[in-house]
Amino acid sequence: MSLPVIGIGESDFKGLRIRENYYIDKSMYIKHIIDNGSRVILVTRPRRFGKTLNMSMLKYYFDINCKDSKELFKGLKILEQEEKYTSKMNYYPCIYITLKDVVDTNYEKMILDLKTAILDMYQEHRYLLDSDKIYPEEKEKIKEILFGKENETDLKNSVKELSKYLSRHHERPVMLLVDEYDVPLQNAYVEGYYEEAVKFFKTFYGTTFKDNQYLEKTVITGVSRVAKESIFSRSK
């Protein structure tokens, strides 16, 4: 009988579980997220601390579009909990976005990187184009993003708009997972366009999180704690 191997650098929960790599059971983190009374949960930990793997775990647990989750979580503590927690498996439409690759040498290129991240996010939900609950003009907005034709205003509103579409299509609130939220700002500081980046992300995050009635919860990970001039407040 072969022993499990250590999946060094593995950040995809499904891949780790399918290959039966060693896994320290952190599934009770899901219980913590459900019990947390905050609508927005910011998790700041050092690099290589397993933040992305935990976010992947959350997605596979909550996402309504993941059909093999029960097998992935077989033998883990979360499935031993009461119905309050087990009933949330595959219950919510999920939006997952990582900003780890939104890094470039100037503001214009950073925006192009963000467009790619938003495109990946929308690609996962392109089935909305076939939904009879999404209006024709909304489908055109979705297509603009899929074809990379959106402007900066569309980009700032893209996550909130997608959460609206998903909530209406599935008739339940959305779970939003944002990984490495602070990478673009850290890179902008190093490259010398920090003020432009802060101005953009204040609006982007403000629009996404503040008074977004379509969200059940938002979980955000990064290295940095929120600065005094919070980037989660919409700029005027």
Say what percent of the chain tops pLDDT 90: 77
Neighbours of 87 (CB within 10 A): 9
What would the pLDDT profile of 124-172 be if each residue is shown by its tens digit?
999 999 999 999 999 999 999 999 999 999 999 999 999 999 999 999 9
What is the C-alpha to C-alpha distance for residues 215 and 161, in angstroms, rounded to an integer?
A: 11
CB 129, CB 142: distance < 8 Å: yes
Encode pLDDT of 60-103 as tens digits. 999 999 988 999 999 999 999 999 999 999 999 999 999 999 99
- Measured CA to CA, the distance from residue 6 to residue 21 in angstroms comes to 5
Residue 15: pLDDT band (50, 70, 90) is: confident
Per-residue model confidence (pLDDT) at position 99: 95
Query: What pTM, to 2 d.p., does this model score?
Result: 0.89
Site of tokens 């599935």: 170
Q: Give 19's contacts (C-beta < 8 A, 6+ positions apart).
A: 5, 7
Distance between CA atoms of residues 183 and 79, nearest Å: 34
* C-alpha to C-alpha distance for 6 and 140, rounded to whole angstroms: 45
234 pLDDT exceeds 80?
no
Q: Are strands 94-98 and 174-179 parallel, antiparallel or unpaired?
A: parallel
